Amino acid sequence: MPERLTPEVIALLVSRDFADGDIVNLGVGMPLYCRRVPPTDVEVLFHSEQGLLGFGPIMKEPPPGHKLQTAGQQSVHPMPGMSFMSHDESFALVRGGFVDYTVLGALQVDAEGNLANYQRPGRITGSLGGAPDLALRARHTYVMMTHTSRDGEPKIVERCTFPLTAVRCVDKIYTDVAVMRIEAERVLVEEYAPGWTIEQIQGITAAPVAPAPDMREATLA
């Protein structure tokens, strides 16, 4: 099999869509790489669930007692224009439709755009975090994840078998082998990692995939 993309490269692919003034919420795990990629001229406001809007880059060595953190518990720098709000107001912002992009991790996504990311198989408890409101109410809901699980199982499936966080909410899926969009209950490949063919992608995907009309090799240019 050809090489897979690194999380840094996937983060750069996701970040191409962010435009001036967009509000972006990043889920825990791989989506946090989107705050690590080099800054651009685009003025994006990053939102974190506990009521933090417009935070700065991740701090490499936070001083003891540093309080400014993301929901993923990474210490971040303050930024001019940054604002704080209570948790209920933070979700008024989410539910009210002010978030332009949410980038979430997933255990499974299916061809209907259903999202399962709160309970691992074999466990009787789980963690929803802020995902239900973010997934349903952000203008664009992106999933960023590895294409297959640690055991090699497909994570993109025809119908999710894991419990659903939210229904019919995922627009696009960014994995280490492809960029896909969900359209009319189909998974369309927009971009593929260098060297990958649609047949190879289908081989590790449990939902039928089809090439988008403008399918191309993923590029950061």
Partner 1 sequence: MIDKVVSSFDEAVADIPSGASMHVGGFGGPADWPAYLIAATARTGIDELTISCCNMAGVGPEAFAKMIVRMTEGASPVGWNVAPDHVTVALLLERGQVRKGITTFSTAMRGAMKSAFESMVEQGRTELELTGQGTLSERIRAARAGIPAFYTPAGADTPWAEGREVREIEGVRCVLETALHADFSLVRAHAADRQGNLIWDHPSSFNATMAGAATMTIAEVDQIVPLGDLKPAEIEIPGAFVNRVVLRPSTPMTSWREAH
Helix (H) or strand (E) holding 132: helix 131-137
Q: Binding of partner 1 at residue 149 (CB under 8 A)? A: no
**What track of x and - describes contact with partner 1 for positions 178 through 207 (by CB under 8 A)?**
------------------------------
Q: 163 exposed, middle or buried (CB, 10 Å; 0-12, 13-18, 19+)?
A: middle
Instruction: Indicate which single residue of 32, 33, 49, 193 sits in contact with partner 1 (rule: CB under 8 A).
Output: 49
Which candidate in 3, 43, 49, 89 is catalytic?
49
Smallest separation (angstroms) from partner 1 to the CB of 105: 11
Applying CB under 8 A, the site for partner 1 has a residue count of 41
Q: Is 49 a catalytic residue?
A: yes
Cβ partners under 8 Å of residue 123, min gap 6: none
Rule CB under 8 A: is residue 95 a binding residue for partner 1? yes
Q: How far is the CB of 164 from partner 1 (least distance, A)?
A: 5
As a whole number of angstroms, the distance between CA 58 and CA 75 comes to 6
CB burial class (10 A; 0-12, 13-18, 19+) of residue 138?
A: buried
**DSSP H or E stretch at residue 202:** helix 198-203
Contacting residue, 38, 39, 65, 152, with partner 1 by CB under 8 A:
65
Place of tokens 């090489």: 3
CB 119 within 8 A of CB 113: no
Stretch that binds partner 1, among 12-20, 83-91, 170-178, 182-190 (CB under 8 A): 83-91
Contact set with partner 1 (CB under 8 A): 28, 48-52, 65, 67-69, 71, 73, 84-88, 90-91, 94-95, 118, 120, 123-133, 136-137, 163-167
